[in-house]
C-alpha cells in the first residue's frame, strides 16, 4: 500500500519554479529539483509526472503569480500607458530577485535539444498569445483615436514584446534596474500619438 504524500505540493512547485527560473528547463537537473523541493524523485514523479510536466506546472504558476501585470496592462486607458505598464513591470520583475534575474518565459528554453522542443514550443506559444492580446489592444486604441490611423498595430505589439524580451536578456546579463528603466524610457519616447489623442 502506497504512503500518503507528506509534502506541500504548492511549496514544492514554488521551489521547482525557482530552480527552473535560475537554470532553465535543461539546466535544471533532478538533483537540483529534489534538493530544492526536499522531495525525492519518485514522490516528485507521483505528484507532478515527469520533468516536462513539472515545468509546465511551474510555468503556469509563474504566469499566474508573476506576470499578472500583463493582463492588468491591457486595462490601462491609453496605448502608451499599456506599453509603459508592461515595460516598467518587466524591469521590476526581471531585477527583483538577485539569484533569479531575467524571465522564465524567455530563458526557460532559448535553445535546446530535440527532447526539449515541446517545452520550447510551449514557451513560444505563450509569448505569441501575449503578443496577440497586445496587438488586439492596440487595434482597439487605433479605433478609439488614441493611435494614429496609419499605425501598424502588429508591428507595435511586436516591438513592445521585443523590448520586453530584451529587458529579460539584459537583466540576466546583470544590467541594473536603473539602466533597464532607461531602456523602457527610450522605447516610450517616440510613442505614436494621434492628433485626436491626449
pLDDT in tens, 59-77: 999 999 999 999 999 999 9
**Mean pLDDT along residues 89-97:** 95
**Angle at CA of residue 126, ends 131 and 49, nearest 5°:** 175
Angle between helices 153-172 and 117-143 (to 10 degrees): 130
Question: Which residue in the block uniquely carries the three cell numbers 514554488?
Answer: 14
Pair (82, 55) in one structural domain:
no
Pair (17, 108) in one structural domain:
no
Pair (76, 94) in one structural domain:
yes
**Does residue 4 lie within any of the structural domains?**
no
State yes or no: pLDDT of 198 exceeds 60.
Answer: no
pLDDT at 47: 87
Pair (102, 178) in one structural domain:
yes
Q: What is the pTM of this model?
A: 0.86
Pair (27, 90) in one structural domain:
no
| Domain containing residue 173: CATH number | 1.10.357.10
Pair (173, 130) in one structural domain:
yes
| Domain containing residue 20: CATH number | 1.10.10.60
pLDDT at 177: 96
**Does residue 2 lie within any of the structural domains?**
no
**Does residue 145 lie within any of the structural domains?**
yes
Higher-pLDDT residue of 82, 29? 82
Pair (54, 147) in one structural domain:
no
Mean pLDDT of the chain: 89
| Residues in contact with 130: Cβ distance below 8 Å, sequence separation at least 6, in sequence order | 70, 161
Pair (121, 182) in one structural domain:
yes
**pLDDT band at residue 147 under the 50/70/90 scheme:** very high
Pair (79, 114) in one structural domain:
yes
Our count of domains for the chain comes to: 2
**Domain enclosing residue 51, as ranges:** 9-62
Pair (183, 123) in one structural domain:
yes
Amino acid at each position: 500500500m502506497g504512503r500518503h504524500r507528506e509534502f506541500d505540493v504548492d511549496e514544492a512547485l514554488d521551489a521547482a519554479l525557482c530552480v527552473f527560473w535560475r537554470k532553465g528547463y535543461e539546466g535544471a537537473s533532478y538533483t537540483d529539483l529534489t534538493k530544492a523541493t526536499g522531495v525525492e524523485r519518485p514522490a516528485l514523479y507521483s505528484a507532478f509526472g515527469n520533468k516536462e510536466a513539472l515545468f509546465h506546472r511551474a510555468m503556469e504558476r509563474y504566469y499566474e503569480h508573476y506576470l499578472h501585470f500583463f493582463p492588468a496592462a491591457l486595462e490601462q486607458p491609453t496605448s502608451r500607458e499599456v506599453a509603459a505598464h508592461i515595460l516598467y513591470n518587466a524591469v521590476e520583475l526581471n531585477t527583483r530577485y538577485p539569484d533569479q534575474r531575467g524571465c522564465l518565459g524567455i530563458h526557460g528554453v532559448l535553445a535546446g535539444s530535440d527532447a526539449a522542443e515541446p517545452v520550447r514550443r510551449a514557451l513560444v506559444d505563450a509569448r505569441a498569445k501575449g503578443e496577440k492580446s497586445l496587438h488586439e489592444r492596440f487595434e482597439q486604441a487605433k479605433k478609439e483615436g488614441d493611435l494614429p490611423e496609419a499605425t501598424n498595430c502588429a508591428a507595435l505589439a511586436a516591438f513592445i514584446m521585443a523590448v520586453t524580451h530584451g529587458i529579460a536578456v539584459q537583466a540576466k546579463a546583470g544590467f541594473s534596474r536603473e539602466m533597464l528603466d532607461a531602456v523602457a524610457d527610450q522605447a516610450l519616447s517616440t510613442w505614436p500619438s494621434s492628433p485626436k489623442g491626449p
